[in-house]
């Protein structure tokens, strides 16, 4: 498994789902929007868990400290937005806006990860770090 290719594919799937949910918010029944939103947010949570494994396996962070900080900060913002969203009923006006904001921030994080974070971290990781990371993610995906 190539962790970075996997994460890019995962991001594509997540963003397609989130965008679909946002685009169809007004047309779908509330029950469907609710179920799709639950799946979308769970997919984001699981994706973040896999990305955290990168940070846990990267021993030499010299030169990528700012990138790590940005990724962590964006993930925290999205997690806070998710926590706020789940406190709002789907019929309330702020729900759609909250979902749109999560989608916007997720796109920003995805774009940064794909253009900057993943390539830089991939260059920094040793062969053994990459092997271990790929093994960990494979085990998570297969379980």
Position with higher pLDDT, 1 vs 10: 10
Find tokens 């995906």 and name the residue: 141
**Pick from 98, 106, 100, 134: which is nearest to 44 by CA?**
106
Region for residue 40 given its phi and psi (left: phi exceeds 0; alpha: psi -120 to 50; beta: otherwise): alpha
**Pair of tokens at residue 133:** 């990371």
Q: Roughly how many angstroms between the first and final C-alpha of the chain, as a whole number?
A: 15
**Pick from 63, 49, 44: which is nearest to 124 by CA?**
63
What confidence tens digit (pLDDT) does each residue in 5-57 have?
A: 999 999 999 999 999 999 999 999 999 999 999 999 999 999 999 999 898 88
């Amino acid at each position: 498994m190539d962790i970075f290719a996997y994460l890019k594919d995962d991001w594509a799937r997540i963003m397609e789902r989130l965008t679909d949910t946002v685009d169809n918010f007004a047309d779908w029944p509330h029950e469907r929007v609710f179920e799709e939103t639950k799946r979308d947010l769970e997919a984001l949570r699981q994706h973040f868990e896999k990305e955290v494994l990168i940070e846990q396996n990267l021993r030499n962070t010299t030169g990528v400290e700012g990138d790590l900080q940005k990724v962590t900060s964006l993930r925290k913002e999205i997690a806070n937005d998710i926590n706020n969203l789940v406190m709002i009923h789907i019929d309330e006006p702020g729900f759609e806006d909250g979902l749109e904001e999560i989608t916007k921030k997720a796109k920003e994080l995805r774009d940064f990860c794909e253009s900057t974070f993943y390539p830089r971290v991939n260059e920094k990781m040793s062969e053994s770090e990459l092997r271990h990371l790929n093994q960990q993610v494979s085990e998570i995906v297969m379980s």
